[in-house]
Amino acid sequence: MLRNKKMNSCIGLLLAMVMVFGLCGCGIIKKEADSDEATVNEAGNTENDSKDSEKKDSEEIRPQDDFYGYVNKDALLNLDLHYGEAYGGPAVDIMNDVNAEIISLISDIANSNKSYEPGTNEQLVKDAYIQFLNQENIGNLGVEHFNERIKEINEAKDTDELLDIIGEIAKEEGQLLYFDIMIERNFFESEENALYIEQKDSIFNIALKDIYESDEERQMLRSYVLDALLACGDELDEAGKKADDFVYFAIDVAGKTDYQIMDAENPYASFVFYDKDALDGILKNVGTDNLEKIMGIKDNPYGGWYVIDTEQLEMLDASFSDDNLECIKTYLICELMYRYNYFLTDEYEFLKLYVPASHQTKEMETALYINGLLEYRVSELYADKYYTEEMDAELTHMYEDIKEGYRQLINEADWLSEATRKGLIKKLDNMYFVKGGGTPHEVDKNDAKLIGDDAFMTFVNVKKDNYNKQLGKIGKAHDKSNSVMSAQTVNSMYGIDNSFNITVAIMHAPYFDEDADYYTNLGGLGMVVAHEMGHAFDSNCINYDADGNYNPDWISKEDREELNNRMDSMIEYYSTFTIMDIYHVDGRLTCGENYADKGGMECLMKIAKTDEQRRKLFENYAYIWCTMLEDTVAMEKLQIDEHSLECIRVNAVLSSTDEFYELYDVKPGDGMYVEPENRVSRW
């Protein structure tokens, strides 16, 4: 399947159920299991490490000592994590609200007595919902189709025949196996699209890094492959040998994977363009012609491909040989089974271990399935229902105010050269704002044919249609006007093509409340907008010019040195902050996000002028990050998340905001106090 993994966003604003726009609130309050008391683990810094960070339930938390705790104490003390939940707070509540809205929207359409025009979003949603809801033997629908593919794969005499099968599956089912391909905007020529061979980061949803490092993960991989092969008719000894060989293959691929690319602040700097001759030197077994043939590309207008991890690709190609034929067959069979597992569970019962049991009603489960299958059609319906003219007017007003705030910051930054200042203003002016779900597609009555004879064939038809739409981007200009996220995704993001996307779903309280005043909303949704726009000028995206092209030299050497000095100060500043008094923030890992947070707050201070305006802004800013996390989850985020933990996002930003000191009379000795010479500024 053609994918768009991490290429659109420069900040990777992750949404994994509750990871809201990369700003996934958490301020750590830890409830003791044997006590009704709660302790607030304060985000301190090295100047204040001697202070006692534990505040008893009965004690007052002063805004001067811990603003995050001051605002969120009561909410956190009354927040209970239900069984199986590792975090909770407003972000989780919004996700639950959005899920309820999606279920209501889809159910209302499906249960309507209306007859919808063929090819419309409503017709497809209604027919797919009714089909899935009433479909018997869901877990058996794909068995015949899958078994035919297994037979073809097993009977293949060499890798040439396997390539033909891979091409047929891509063409007929919209599933591209073995290779990870993406068609996306050219990160060096932003008006164009380009072809990318992505870095493979997992196999059957098991991370390659974990496979390389963990025997437990290798055993998990072996168990899945063994179970799949046994279910497909292999004898135990034969299946065991194939499973062992496949694990060795996976380890070899993992060993040739450049994990620094995965974790790099700017992974795009690793992209290498290869023309056909050069790529043939890498794809010695598969060949560029075969790669394009199996994808259905008749003419490559770009003259080559971008490769993200050359050494890994060489390893994958070297393994695609007749000497390794059985291992490649194993890969294709198991990957296809993994992708179709929902429709195979009755025949291959072991797959139920990999398909989470639903605890929802059949109607709710069906609505959420349709939301995933027809995501961008549901997106248009969701935006049409929930995005109001009033919301649009307020969001546009907020965006323009924030844009003007950044203009003031850039113009007042006396350390910038005039050439760089003009370039930054041009980048600000060129920013493309996508809101309300983007531009709706034109209805095609032929799309009614996507509803197949059963739910499995509808699934296949939709995947095939999505695949063909991706291929249709080849040779076309890059289109910024379409949102890179569905309207029902709780997210907001800045794209390195200098576009800014915000979804309808994120416009829920406390981020945006139609009944709240402007400055309260400015501390919520406004901070989200300012944060995202701030990414245009962070330590990573500053490498992209006003047109969204990767061009680090567009900033003068002198200005870049000053930017690097400021970056070093930001890294050092955040590295002094801790959670649970001893675990330090990784200032380098989180630098880009911290830049956007700090720049965003500096921007908002250009808009909120009075004490009352700033009080409302600060308090809602702290509240949107109100989250309870289990300690183990907090520790994991501290090591891998490019965003600082939420309590620190609040306290670290405000401890370097002069207006906060003035409003709350913060003085030396207070928990929020940082010496003036140690405070940081983006601008």
How does pLDDT run across 341-364, given as a tens digit for each residue?
999 999 999 998 887 777 889 999
200 within a domain of the structure (yes/no): yes
Tell me the pLDDT of the chain averaged across its residues: 89
Q: Domain limits at 165?
A: 139-215+248-353
Write down the pLDDT at residue 265.
65
For the cut 70, the answer to whether the pLDDT of residue 262 exceeds it is yes
Angle ∠(263,268,270) on CA atoms, nearest 5: 80
520 within a domain of the structure (yes/no): no
**197, containing H or E segment:** strand 193-197
Write down the pLDDT at residue 52.
44
For the cut 70, the answer to whether the pLDDT of residue 26 exceeds it is no
Contact 599, 682 (CB under 8 A): yes
Write down the pLDDT at residue 540.
83
Q: How many domains does the chain have?
A: 1
- Please give the structure tokens belonging to residue 215: 């025997």
Query: Parallel, antiparallel, or unpaired: how do β-strands 578-579 and 583-584 relate?
Result: antiparallel
329 within a domain of the structure (yes/no): yes
539 within a domain of the structure (yes/no): no
Task: Give the rounded distance of the alpha carbon of 213 from its chain centre.
Answer: 24
Radius of gyration of the chain (CA): 26
Residues paired with 579 in a beta bridge: 583
19-33, 259-273, 320-334, 535-549: least confident range: 19-33
| Of 75, 15, 157, 120, nearest in space to 624 by CA | 75
CATH number at residue 152: 1.10.1380.10
For the cut 50, the answer to whether the pLDDT of residue 105 exceeds it is yes
Q: Find the mean pLDDT for residues 476-504.
A: 91
- pLDDT tens per residue across span 56-87: 444 789 999 999 999 999 999 988 887 777 88
Write down the pLDDT at residue 19.
29
Write down the pLDDT at residue 34.
34
For the cut 70, the answer to whether the pLDDT of residue 24 exceeds it is no
105 within a domain of the structure (yes/no): no
Please name the residue that has the structure tokens 């980061």. 201
Calculate the alpha carbon distances from 334 to 139, 163, 339, 457, 631 in Å.
Answer: 17, 16, 9, 20, 36
In our burial notation (b when 16+ CB lie closer than 10 A, e otherwise), range 182-216 reads bbbbbbbebeebbbbbbbbbebbebbbbebbeeee
In our burial notation (b when 16+ CB lie closer than 10 A, e otherwise), range 562-594 reads bbeebbeebbebbbbbbbbeeeebbbbbbbbbb
Q: Does the pTM exceed 0.95?
A: no
- pLDDT tens per residue across span 562-593: 988 999 999 999 999 988 888 899 999 999 89
